[in-house]
């Protein structure tokens, strides 16, 4: 399953970067400046790139946005496969049952996605704004930069935590729909309020724990990347290491659903 997820991510990204690759290849593969690209970021070539591509940047952004939205829609589809396979833990995953689950749950998850969109709009448009206003009140008459620094970091932490709550909530809705093989999305959403309400802190702690694992993986990735030599064959090593990291992110994604399913099973089913 992880292989499918990684492959889909990789292919989508490849489509997005292909025009960029051809542009860079055209301008740099025969230029001596191309050798400098090997040595990491350098303001001379970075300046060149910004200057050369400034006019096509809007088109490029548009080009990237379309596959990104498509990718989001695709994940609505893939979530069914991921959760379906997590729940059928004894079965071996193959393309047939994975994509079968994707198809089976797609419309249910599409409805969850639409409901969650409302949730995220409320989160970003109302709750975040409310907290920002609150923090602005606090920092409006600040006398030192410390107040602003602490406040902006605290606000960011609160935003992350709130985001995690909304994310977790809709994860449980999806897991519940698959676990109960229910089609009643709205009912499952409403019922989830009651479940999360009762077990909120335990569920959230578990969710955050997986989040922390994800952060730790990021730290390991950066640490190892920094010690990898640059140039030559190490390029391949770095590429492989990057893909291992992306792979680990897929694993974390599955881990979220897996822990949520087990939590739901232990406490409800």
Partner 1 sequence: MKIKKTAFASVLFLLGFLNWVSLFAQQALGQEKISNIRYEIWVELDDQKKMLSGEEDLTWFNRTQDEVQDMLFHLYYNAFKNENSTALQEAKEETLFGIRVKEGAWGWIDVTKIELADGRDLKPTMEFVTKDEPIHPGDQTVMRVRFPESVKPGQEVRLKLKFQSKIPKTILRSGYYQNSYFIAQWFPKPGVYEEGKGWNCHEYHLNSEFFADFADFVVHITVPSNFVVGASGKQIIAEPEEKKKTVTYTFEQTNIHDFAWTADPDFIKVERDFIADQEVSPKEYEEVAQKLGLPQDEVKLHNVKMILLIEREHKGQIERHFKALRAAIKYYSLWYGPYPYETVTMVDPPFRTGSGGMEYPTLFTAGTSVLTSKNVLSPEGVIIHEFGHGFWYGLCANNEFEEAWLDEGINTYSTGKVQAKAYGQGEMSMRFKRIPLNRFFSFPRYYDYEQDRAAAISIVKYDPIMTESWKFFNRMSYAANVYMRASTCLNTLEKLVGEDAMLRIMRTFHTRFRFKHPRSQDFINVVHEITGKSFNWFFDQLFFNTLNFDYGISLLRSYEKPKHGRGIFDVNGKKEEWTDRKVTGLKEKKSEKKEVYVTEVRVRRFGEARVGGEAKIKVKVVFADGSEEVRSWDGQSRWANFTFEKPVKAKQAEVDPDRIWIIDSNFANNSLKLEPSRGGVFRLATKFLFWVQNCLQLFSTLS
135-164 binders of partner 1 (CB under 8 A) = 141-146, 148-149, 152-153, 156
242 part of the interface to partner 1, by CB under 8 A: yes
- Candidates 24-32, 92-100, 177-185, 196-204: pick the segment binding partner 1 (CB under 8 A): 24-32
Please, what is the minimum distance in Å from the beta carbon of residue 53 to partner 1? Answer: 11
Which residues 38-97 are close enough to bind partner 1 by CB under 8 A?
Answer: 38, 40-48, 50-52, 54, 64, 68, 71-72, 75-76, 78-79
Q: How big is the CA angle at 47 (ends 45 and 50), to the nearest 5 degrees? A: 110
Q: How many residues bind partner 1 (CB under 8 A)?
A: 72
The binder of partner 1 chosen from 4, 105, 113, 251 (CB under 8 A): 113
The binder of partner 1 chosen from 3, 7, 31, 229 (CB under 8 A): 31
Residue at token pair 């935590």: 161
The nearer residue to partner 1, 116 or 192, going by C-beta atoms, is 116
Which residues 116-135 are close enough to bind partner 1 by CB under 8 A?
Answer: 116, 120
Question: In 63-95, which positions are buried (b, 16+ CB within 10 angstroms) versus exposed (e)?
Answer: bbeeeeeebeeebbbbbbbbbbbbbeeeeebee
Which residues 186-225 are close enough to bind partner 1 by CB under 8 A?
Answer: 222
7 part of the interface to partner 1, by CB under 8 A: no
The nearer residue to partner 1, 100 or 163, going by C-beta atoms, is 163
- With contact defined as beta carbons under 8 Å apart, do 116 and 170 qualify? yes
Residue 38 burial by CB count (10 A; 0-12/13-18/19+): exposed, middle or buried? exposed
Q: Rounded distance, CA 9 to CA 250, Å?
A: 9
The nearer residue to partner 1, 146 or 201, going by C-beta atoms, is 146
Q: Rounded distance, CA 167 to CA 208, Å?
A: 11
- Candidates 35-43, 127-135, 175-183, 191-199: pick the segment binding partner 1 (CB under 8 A): 35-43
106 part of the interface to partner 1, by CB under 8 A: no
| Nearest alpha-carbon partner for 32 in 41, 46, 19, 45 | 45
The nearer residue to partner 1, 98 or 113, going by C-beta atoms, is 113
The nearer residue to partner 1, 94 or 243, going by C-beta atoms, is 243
Two tokens at 98?
């994975």
Please, what is the minimum distance in Å from the beta carbon of residue 261 to partner 1? Answer: 17
The H or E element containing residue 38 is none
Two tokens at 206?
């578990």
Q: Rounded distance, CA 165 to CA 157, Å?
A: 12
**Residue 55 zone, left/alpha/beta (φ > 0; ψ -120 to 50; rest):** alpha
């Amino acid at each position: 399953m992880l292989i499918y997820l990684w492959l889909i991510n990789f292919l989508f990204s490849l489509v997005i970067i292909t025009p960029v690759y051809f542009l860079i290849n055209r301008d740099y593969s025969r230029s001596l400046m191309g050798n400098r690209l090997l040595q990491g970021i350098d303001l001379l070539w970075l300046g060149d790139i910004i200057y050369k591509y400034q006019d096509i940047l809007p088109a490029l952004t548009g080009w990237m946005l379309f596959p990104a939205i498509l990718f989001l829609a695709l994940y609505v589809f893939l979530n069914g496969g991921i959760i379906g396979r997590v729940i059928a833990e004894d079965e071996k995953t193959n393309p047939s049952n994975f994509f079968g689950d994707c198809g089976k749950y797609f419309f249910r998850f599409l409805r969850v996605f639409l409901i969650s969109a409302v949730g995220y709009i409320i989160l970003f448009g109302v709750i975040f704004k409310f907290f920002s206003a609150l923090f602005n009140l606090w920092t409006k008459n600040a006398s030192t930069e410390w107040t602003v620094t602490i406040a902006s970091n605290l606000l960011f932490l609160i935003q992350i935590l709130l985001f995690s709550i909304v994310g977790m909530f809709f994860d449980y809705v999806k897991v519940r729909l698959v676990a109960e093989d229910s089609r009643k999305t709205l009912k499952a959403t409403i019922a989830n309020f009651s479940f999360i309400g009762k077990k909120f802190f335990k569920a959230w702690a578990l969710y955050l724990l997986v989040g922390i694992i994800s952060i730790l993986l990021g730290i390991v990735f950066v640490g190892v990347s920094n010690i990898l030599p640059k140039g030559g064959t190490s390029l391949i090593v770095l590429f492989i290491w990057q893909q291992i990291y992306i792979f680990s992110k897929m694993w974390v994604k599955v881990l979220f659903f897996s822990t949520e399913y087990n939590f739901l099973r232990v406490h409800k089913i």
